[in-house]
């Protein structure tokens, strides 16, 4: 089987693939995400995942995996906070509401390309100003879509989740394996 290449700088995505105990390498893509536009959130995550995978497919051989995660709240797209103020605004808006997390995934292998996405609905409990400020002070929100990490300290804000947990962390593993199978790629666990 060709080498699996994770086209991502996200330590979470790497950890999720590590969890499967399969052989892969990491090659972070270098695209300017801020310049990419789409008609709606699902098109946006799919387009971004494709651009990330394509960027690496041009440079490396293998089964290339690209992904992109965003949070959607009332038709607004929340990406990563750009500063402390935007992290505060995001968390304040997400407090006591249900939002949607979307992850787009693209696999490119042997001139074949497959793109899909997955959604998960997450409900956060009401957060006090102090809780939001204390959380931001930990630094955790800054590299995460929507400004929280469900897999870390942000877990204490999560009241309910409907759908794949791994999708929220950045890589929907079930969807990923289904897509690999669709392309005729069967993953093999290390012995
Ligand atoms: C909502 C949420 C997002 N996230 C993360 C997943 C993604 O890494 C990040 C969204 O940013 P992305 O742009 O999807 O990914 P990235 O910049 O981290 O990595 P790359 O573009 O190189 O692949 O937010 C969490 O870790 N936990 C969460 O609960």
| Domain ranges for the chain | 4-182
pLDDT of residue 125: 98
108-to-7, 16, 65, 180 alpha-carbon distances in Å: 11, 19, 7, 10
3-state secondary structure at position 191:
coil
Tell the residue nearest (CA) to atom 5 of ligand 1: 144
pLDDT of residue 189: 86
pLDDT of residue 190: 86
- Residues 6 or more apart whose CB falls under 8 angstroms from that of 39 comprise none
Kindly report the backbone phi and psi dihedral angles of residue 55, in degrees, each rounded to the nearest multiple of 5, phi listed first: -55, -40
pLDDT of residue 61: 94
Q: Taking the CA atoms of the chain, what radius of gyration do you get in angstroms?
A: 17
**Which residues carry out catalysis?**
68
Task: Given the cut 0.90, state whether the ipTM is greater than it.
Answer: yes
What pTM does this model have? 0.97
Pick from 28, 104, 144, 167 the residue to mutate for probing ligand 1's pocket: most ligand atoms within 8 Å of its CB. 144
Pick from 141, 170, 173 the residue to mutate for probing ligand 1's pocket: most ligand atoms within 8 Å of its CB. 170
Task: Tell me if 77 sits within 8 A of 36, measured CB to CB.
Answer: no
CATH number for domain 4-182, candidates 3.40.50.300, 3.10.129.10, 1.20.1250.20, 3.90.950.10: 3.90.950.10
Interval between CA 70 and ligand 1 midpoint (Å): 8
DSSP 116-167: EEEEEEEEEPP--HHHHHHHHHTTGGGGSGGG--TTTGGGGGEEEEES-HHH
Q: Does the Cβ of 68 fall within 6 Å of ligand 1?
A: yes
Q: Going residue by residue through the chain (191 aa), what tens digit of pLDDT does each one get?
A: 789 999 999 999 999 999 999 999 999 999 999 899 999 999 999 999 999 999 999 999 999 999 999 999 999 999 999 999 999 999 999 999 999 999 999 999 988 999 999 999 999 999 999 999 999 999 999 999 999 999 999 999 999 999 999 999 999 999 999 999 999 999 888 87
Q: Rounded to whole angstroms, how far apart are CA atoms 71 and 79?
A: 6
pLDDT of residue 2: 87
3-state SS track over 91-105: HHHHCCCEEEEEEEE
Q: Does the Cβ of 47 fall within 6 Å of ligand 1?
A: no
pLDDT of residue 71: 98
């Amino acid at each position: 089987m060709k080498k699996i290449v994770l086209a991502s700088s996200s330590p979470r995505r790497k950890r999720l693939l590590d969890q499967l105990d399969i052989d892969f390498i990491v090659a972070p893509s270098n695209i300017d995400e801020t310049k990419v536009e789409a008609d709606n959130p699902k098109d946006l995550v799919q387009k971004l995942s494709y651009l990330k995978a394509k960027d690496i497919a041009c440079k490396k051989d293998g089964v290339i995996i690209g992904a992109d995660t965003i949070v959607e709240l009332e038709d607004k797209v929340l990406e990563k906070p750009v500063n402390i103020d935007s992290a505060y605004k995001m968390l304040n808006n997400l407090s006591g509401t249900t939002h949607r997390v979307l992850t787009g995934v693209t696999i490119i292998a042997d001139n074949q390309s497959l793109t899909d996405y997955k959604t998960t609905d997450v409900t956060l409990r009401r957060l006090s100003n102090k809780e939001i400020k204390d959380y931001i002070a930990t630094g955790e929100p800054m590299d995460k879509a929507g400004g929280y990490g469900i897999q870390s300290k942000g877990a204490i804000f999560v009241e309910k989740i409907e759908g794949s947990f791994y999708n929220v962390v950045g890589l929907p593993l079930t969807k990923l394996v289904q897509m690999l199978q669709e392309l005729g790629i069967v993953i093999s666990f290390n012995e």
